[in-house]
A and B are shown apart, each in its own frame.
Chain A
Amino acid sequence: MSPFRRSNSGDVARERLRVVLMQDRISLAPHLMERMKEDLVDVISRYVDVDRGKIEVQWRRADGEPALVANIPVRSVKRSVASNDRASERVL
C-alpha cells in the first residue's frame, strides 16, 4: 500500500454507504419514526411536562456519524419526580 495515499477510497465508500443506508431505511418507514417519537414522549412525560405538539426528532450528522437529534420543549418539571421512587422503579 502506498504511504502517500490519503485514505483508502474503499473505507470511504463503506462509511458513506453505512450512513446512507441508515437514512434510507428510516425514511422508508416514516410510521416507525412517528411511533418512536410517541414512545419517547411517553417516557419523558413521566418525569417532566412536555409540549407534545412542538417535538422535533431528526436525523443529523455529527462528526460524520449519523445521530438522532430530539428537540423536546419542557413546560415544567413535575414535583413528584424527586420524591416518588416507585414511579422511577416502574420506569426502569
Chain B
Amino acid sequence: MGQSLVITSGKGGVGKTTATANIGAALAMLNQKVVLVDADIGLRNLDVVMGLENRIVYDLVDVVEGFCKLKQALIKDKRVEGLYLLPAAQTRDKTAVTPEQMKNLVGQLKEEFDYVIVDCPAGIEQGFRNAVAGADRAIVITTPDVSSVRDADRVIGLLESSGFERPVLIVNRIKPKMVDRGDMMDIGDILDVLAIELIGVVPEDESILVSTNRGEPAVFDGSSRAGQAFRNIARRLRGEEVPFMNLAEVQGLWGRLRKLVGLE
C-alpha cells in the first residue's frame, strides 16, 4: 500500500505542476513506483510539462465515469522505470468529479503504486476539494512574494481544518541575489509567518523554462540547480536527511567574485 500526496498552493503560477512532475520523476529515479494525477480538470497541463501530451487516449473523467479501466488511462513514461501519468480531462470542468470519487480513485492507485502524487488546481473551490480528498499528506508550494504566501496561509488553514496534521512547505523560485540585497523575503521570514515544516527550497532557474519547453522534467538534467533541489525533496520525502542547498553556490563563480570585490 503506497501513500498519496497532494501538491497545492492556492495561488496559480507558483509551480505546482512543475513540482509535481519533478518530484514524481525524482521519486521514480529512486526506484519508486509513481503515478502523477492531474486533478486540474478543464485546464490540464501536467501532460505537456511531462512531454506526454501526444499519448493521451483516456483521462481521469473517463475512468470515473466508467468509460475505460483505470489501467487503460495510465500513460507510462518511457524515460524512467515506474513513472506513470493519469491525465485530466480537458473538455470538462471541476464538477465532473466528486471528492468521494477522487478518494476512491486515489485509493485504488495506492494499491498499485508507492506514491500517488496529485497536482491540485489553483483556487480553493471544488477543484481543490477534489484534489485533497484522497491525499494522506499535503505539500504546500509558495514563491517568496506577499500574495503567494498569503494564499499559502489560507490553504494551510483549509488543509488543517480538513484533517491534514502537518502540511510541509516548498519555497519555489528563490533568487539568492535579491535576498542578499534585501529585496526578497528570505526563507526564515516565510517560515516565521506560515509556521510549518520546510521540505525544500528551489532556486529560480532558467533551466525550468527550457525543460518545460522540451517536455523533459528538470530532474533528468544533471546540471540543473532546480532539478537538484527537486531531487533533494524526493529524498526527504523518502525520509532521508538531506541538507538544504547552499543558495550562495547557485549564483555561480561569477556572482561570488563580484561579491568578493564588492560589486554587490
Binds B, one of A12-20, A34-42, A43-51, A74-82: A12-20
B181 partner residues in chain A, CB cutoff 8 A: 1, 8
The interface bits of chain B over 142-163 (1 if a CB of A lies within 8 angstroms of the residue's CB, else 0) are: 0001100110011001000000
Chain A contact residues: helix, strand, loop or mixed: helix
Binds B, one of A21-29, A55-63, A83-91: A21-29
Q: Is B100 an interface residue (CB 8 A)?
A: no
Q: Is A53 an interface residue (CB 8 A)?
A: no
Looking at A8, A9, A13, which has the most chain B CB atoms within 10 Å of its CB? A13
Contact assessment for B182 and A8 in the assembled complex, using a CB-CB cutoff below 8 Å: yes
Least Cβ–Cβ distance between B262 and chain A, in angstroms: 11
The interface bits of chain B over 179-192 (1 if a CB of A lies within 8 angstroms of the residue's CB, else 0) are: 10111111001001
Q: Is B260 an interface residue (CB 8 A)?
A: no
Contact assessment for A20 and B157 in the assembled complex, using a CB-CB cutoff below 8 Å: no
Q: Is B193 an interface residue (CB 8 A)?
A: yes
Candidates A5, A17, A28; contact of B157 at CB < 8 Å: A28
A10 and B179 in contact (CB under 8 A), knowing A20-B150, A24-B153, A25-B157? yes
Candidates A1, A5, A13, A25; contact of B146 at CB < 8 Å: A13
CA distance in complex: A24, B192 (Å):
16
Nearest residue in A to B189 (C-beta to C-beta)?
A14
Interface size class of A (residues with CB under 8 A): 10 to 19
Pairs A-B, 8 closest by C-beta atoms: A8-B182, A14-B189, A9-B183, A10-B182, A17-B146, A13-B146, A10-B185, A10-B184
Q: Would you give 14 A-B contacts (Cβ < 8 Å), ordered by A?
A: A1-B181, A5-B182, A8-B183, A9-B182, A10-B186, A13-B146, A14-B193, A17-B149, A17-B150, A20-B150, A21-B150, A21-B153, A24-B150, A24-B153
Contact assessment for B193 and A17 in the assembled complex, using a CB-CB cutoff below 8 Å: yes
A17 partner residues in chain B, CB cutoff 8 A: 146, 149-150, 185, 193
Interface size class of B (residues with CB under 8 A): 10 to 19
CA distance in complex: A10, B188 (Å):
12
CA distance in complex: A9, B193 (Å):
17
A21 partner residues in chain B, CB cutoff 8 A: 150, 153, 193
B185 partner residues in chain A, CB cutoff 8 A: 10, 13-14, 17
A16 partner residues in chain B, CB cutoff 8 A: 146
A10 partner residues in chain B, CB cutoff 8 A: 178-179, 182-186, 189
B184 partner residues in chain A, CB cutoff 8 A: 10, 13
A13 and B186 in contact (CB under 8 A), knowing A20-B150, A21-B193, A28-B157? no
B179 partner residues in chain A, CB cutoff 8 A: 10
In the complex, chain B residues 52-96 whose Cβ is within 8 Å of any chain A Cβ: none
Nearest residue in A to B178 (C-beta to C-beta)?
A10
CA distance in complex: A72, B178 (Å):
47
